[in-house]
Structures are given as structure tokens and as C-alpha cells.
Amino acid sequence: MRSVEAEQIAQRFIQCYLRRDLDGIGELLAQPLFWIGAEKSDVFYSFEDVCAHMRQLHGDPKVQLLLENMQVESFSSGRDTTTVLAFLRLGVEAESGASMLTVRMTLQLRSLPQGWRICCIHSSVPYFPPQDTSAVQVTRRQLEELRLRDALTGIYNMEGFVAAADQLRRRWPQNTYVFLKFGINGFRYINRTSGFVVGDQVLRHIAGHLQASCSEQETCGRVEKDIFAAMLVFRGKADMARRMEQIRAALVDEELRRQLSVEINFTAGLYLPPDLQGEEIKDMLDKALVAQQSLDSSRAVSEYVYYAPEMSARWYADSQLMAKAMSAIESGAFKLYIQPQVELATGSPAAGEALVRWQQPDGSLIMPGAFIPLFEHSEFILEFDFYMLDLLCRHLRRWLNEGRPVLPISINQSRRHLAHSRYLEDFCAVVDKYRIPHELIVFELTESTFVEYNDEVYVMARRLHEMGFLLAIDDFGTGYASLNMLSMLSADILKIDRSLAIDCEKNRRSVVILQKVVEMAHETKMIAVCEGIETAGQLDCVRQLGCDVVQGFYYARPMPAEDFAGQYLAPCAVSH
């Protein structure tokens, strides 16, 4: 945007502002926006808030503001944003007499589909000491303050938080501080189900309430996406537990809470530095993050944990694993394992589930629980999943060429794939490259996938069936899915999580729940597969309840793919 255009928009806004032309102002403002006024409480997030502020500011019709002089200067901040600094000299006429008023404004403009709009406003009435004759210098300092603020919420961004925290520890060195870092559980789901406008509203609510909970000796910020940070005075763990509950209870207003389809929860890490002055602010935040990441953010509860040194050791070990992951693909260290599934009516193998083990140079194996969650936190999981799909298809092709009676094999892929529009085409291309009949691949979707990608899942399920793949709902009963999902989704297999069968021998309530789940699967035309069957008692229980297929250590542990083929896929006789 050219400087002259930005300055013209700023001048139009100021003229409308002085004329109290709210319609004219509305045409120039973006949504969302924020306005920071001279007072600490003057922070506004919508056009309606701005209107109320202006009515209060200019509410007395006997007071007239006359523009004596205006200086504007634009600074290009980027291709899509421009900042304009305005310095106004106003004549104030009132019954008590006439006076002069100095006002400075910083306006940030952003390029939107409807054109350039003002998204940030910072106005104040400065005091210039006699020796300070440069209004522009003062306004530049105002611009620096604006640069340290998060454009959506108005609280500090990462850079601003670090600067503010550093000032606090210097100003109050006698205080004991704790660093808090937390993220909103399933925030992507809120954006997808309620819309990004509501998602932004949630973030603004959280920011506003978090800031309101901070005293003058504390600070907070939105440091990235849905991640917030705070530097709080620490008065003991009991007091901090009370504050964490207050923060949880006041994340959003009650009215907004009723609009949402899910409860707002967070996962948080706390770091209590032994030497507040001896560490960098970002290093202390990183330790709070390490603590946060040690928790499972998929749980539908708010949780927090204090940092402990062993967490860093674990984080370092995880980092080492991630560093070795790519070379492990290249060297073939990821091994395909398959766990058989057995049909209860006949005792015959019915299918298998593809799993993975990471073989180390000394022959030892790393179990998937130690590395799959790490891969899920990065884009590497996308490449890894396709590698394992290719590996499975290679084995299936060889077994088919050998004349073996190949069984359907299920494969579980990350929900992160659903964010990519060409995912199913790419998936199908791998399968077709090896000429694998589609009915031999069972595509597993975990319940948690429906939380983040509700609409996409239904579309993908329909397309999977159109392509001839089988669809299984995995881990059913872990607390994510709803009965409504089962009524809307046309799946072929319901894999019942081991937690529902683990104590069915002793717990009558577990038996009742398991029975209803099996009945529900049958009534919706799905095969009921009970996972985690380890004892004869569990096997008898699920057999009496009418389960179709079982999977678990009672029959077989996961085994190398070649062992699975040798034990369960005896080759057919080839006629000559």
C-alpha cells in the first residue's frame, strides 16, 4: 500500500472521529480490532465497544473539538500491514472556556478482502516536557508499545511478555515468581465446530480474564496461537492451586460457554525458578512448556504440573529419538508387526492389525508408545504413516504373489492427514501402486479424530466406501465419540477399547455397558471387535455377550509380519 493512501485513510478516520460520525468510522474498521486508550481500562475489542467509548468520550454536546493542526506519517510494516502515526492539536470549546488539547494516535491498517481496514488503534493524551519538542519521537515510542501487543487480544505477545517479565523481576526482586504456560485443549475443534470468529472470541475472553487476574506485580501474554503465559507471584502451592482453579473457572464468560459445544479446558506447566535473576525469561518459559508437554492434552479435563529436572531429561531423550527418526526410515529400522484378530464363532483368524516396532542397532525394540506421540507433534508423522502404508502394501503384494489367503489388515493413520485435501488420493495411490484389492485394507479412525475433524470425517468415510476400503472406529469407549456419531457414520467395524472388557469378569456394570455396546454395533450393521483380551475369563465374557472378533494377548501378541504370514496365511496349493 502506498504511504499516501494509508495517510488518507487515517485522515478520514480522524475526521469521522472528531465529527462523531460512527457510520463513517464503521466503514474504516476491521473485525476483530482492538483499541487501546489512555487509561489502563480503555481496551476495546469490537466496533460496538468503540461506539460506546466514543459516546462517553464525546457525550457532552456542549463540548466542541476543533482540529487546529494534524500531522500524519506512515510506516510500512509489511506487504499486508501499514502503520500510520498521527499527531493532533485540538481546540476545545466549552462553557468553561477554550483550551488546547494534544492527542496522538497510532493506527495499524491491514489488507482484507474488502480492502484496507484499521485493525488497531492506540490513542492517548501525552505530556511533553519542555525539552521534548518532538511529537514524532513520542509517537514512535507508542508504536513500539503497540508492536509488543498481540493484535487479536490486546495483551502482550511473546516479545512483550519477555520484556514485561524482565522489568518485573528487576522492580520487585524480593518476590518469588512462578512461570505459567498453558494451551487450550482441542482448540482446533472449537474453530471447526463454532467457527473462527467464535474461536477468536474465546481467545479474547481468556486473555481478558487472565489479564484481570494479574496484579500490578504480575504480567501475562498470548505467546502463540492458543498458548498463553503468565508470570505470577508465588505464595505456596496451596495458593497456586486456588489461583489455577480460578483461572480455569473464568476462562470464558458464562454466555459464551453456553454457545460452545464443548467445555473449555487447559493443559498447563508451572516452573518455579530457584534463581529468578539467574535465568533468561525464555528459558524459564521453556521449562514451563516442558512441564506442559508432559501432560496428555487430549484429556477432557484441566490439568497442570510443576516442572521437575527429570522432565528435561525426558525431553532431551525424546529430542534424540526425533533426530534419529529420518535415518531410521532410510535404514529400514521401523519394522512391520501384525497382531491377529480371531473370529469367536470358529476360532479362525479373521484379520490383523498393522503395528510398528523401532529396532535399535543392538536388536532391542522401542515400542510405539515411546515415539508415535512424538511424531504426532510434528509433520514427520505424515511421512511416517505413508512409509508404513507402503511397507504394509509391499508385504501384501508379496503374499498375494505367493498365493497366500491374505486377510484384511487394518492400519491406523494420524488425524493430522485430514487437514490435507489430497490425502485420500495419495493414500489410494500407494495402495494401487502395489495392486492391492481395496477390501484388504481396513482404515482405522480413532474416536479422538472426530473431536478435531468432525465434518471432514463424514466426508472421508463416504469416500472410503466409494473406493472400496473398509472403515473401523478404533478405541471406542475412551470418552471422545458420541452416539450421534455412530448414527451418522457408516462404519463397518467397531473396535471396542480394552478398558471396557478389562474387568468384565468381576464388575457387573462393565458387563452391562459392554453388552449394550456390542448390541449397538450389531444393530448398526457393524462387526464388534473386542480389544485387549488377555484371560480365559475375559474371553468367555465377551463370547457370551455376542462379540464377533477378539484381539489380544490371549491368542497372540503382535509379531513380525513374516511370522504372521507363516502362522496365519498358509499358501494355497498352486496347480500346474
Cell of 518: 456390542
Q: What is the pLDDT along the chain (576 residues), one digit of tens a residue?
A: 567 888 889 889 988 888 778 888 888 888 777 777 756 566 777 778 777 766 665 555 555 677 877 888 876 556 677 888 888 887 766 665 666 777 888 888 888 878 888 888 887 765 444 444 454 555 455 556 667 888 788 899 999 999 999 999 999 999 999 999 999 987 877 876 777 888 888 999 999 999 999 999 999 999 988 999 999 999 999 999 999 999 999 888 888 888 886 778 899 999 999 999 999 999 999 999 999 988 877 666 889 999 999 998 888 888 888 889 989 999 999 999 999 999 999 999 999 999 999 999 999 999 998 899 888 877 889 999 999 999 999 999 999 999 999 999 999 988 888 778 788 999 999 999 999 999 999 998 876 676 666 677 778 888 888 999 999 988 887 654 556 667 677 789 999 888 888 877 777 887 888 898 899 889 889 999 999 999 999 999 999 999 999 999 999 999 999 999 999 998 754 433
- 529 phi, psi to nearest 5 deg: -110, 120
pLDDT value, residue 447: 62
- Residue 574, pLDDT score: 40
Rounded to an integer, what distance in angstroms lies between the CA atom of residue 415 and that of residue 419?
Answer: 8
How many other β-carbons are positioned within 10 Å of the β-carbon of residue 394? 15
User: Count of CB atoms within 10 A of residue 171's CB?
Assistant: 10
Gyration radius of the chain over CA positions: 31
Q: In order of start, what are the domains of the chain with their CATH numbers?
A: 3-147 (3.10.450.50), 158-307 (3.30.70.270), 336-568 (3.20.20.450)
Beta strands in 7-95 (DSSP E): 29-36, 43-44, 64-76, 81-94
Q: How far apart are CA 150 and CA 153, in angstroms?
A: 6
Strands 177-184 and 227-233: antiparallel
> What nine digits make up the cell of 380?
514427520
- Cα 477 to Cα 532: distance, rounded to the nearest angstrom: 13
CA atoms of 251 and 225, how far apart (whole Å): 16
Would you say 64 and 93 are in contact if contact means Cβ atoms under 8 Å apart?
yes
